[in-house]
Amino acid sequence: MLRISKLTDYGTLILTHMAGHPDRLHSAAGLAEALGLGLPTVSKVLKTLGRHELVSSQRGAHGGYALARPPDRITVADVIDALEEQAFGLTECSSSSGVCAIESDCRIRENWMRINTVVRQALQAVNIADMVHPVHGAAFPAPHTTEHRMHGPARSAAACLPAARADEQEI
Partner DNA sequence: AATTAAAAGTACCAAAACGGTACTGTATAG
Partner DNA sequence: CTATACAGTACCGTTTTGGTACTTTTAATT
Nearest to 6 by CA among 151, 121, 161, 153: 153
* Among 65, 71, 79, 82, interactor with DNA by CB under 7 A: 65
* Among 59, 60, 61, 102, interactor with a copy of itself by CB under 8 A: 102
Complex with a copy of itself: residue 61 or 97, whichever CB lies closer? 97
* Among 11, 64, 71, 153, interactor with a copy of itself by CB under 8 A: 153
| Angle, helix 6-20 to helix 76-83, in steps of 10 degrees | 130
Complex with a copy of itself: residue 29 or 108, whichever CB lies closer? 108
Stretch binding a copy of itself (CB under 8 A), from 21-29, 45-53, 54-62, 161-169: 161-169
Complex with DNA: residue 10 or 127, whichever CB lies closer? 10
Stretch binding DNA (CB under 7 A), from 15-23, 52-60, 73-81, 116-124: 52-60
CA 34 from chain center: how many Å? Answer: 19
Task: State the alpha helices, DSSP H only, in the chain.
Answer: 6-20, 28-35, 39-51, 76-83, 92-95, 107-124, 128-132
27 is an interface residue for DNA by CB under 7 A: yes
Complex with DNA: residue 59 or 107, whichever CB lies closer? 59
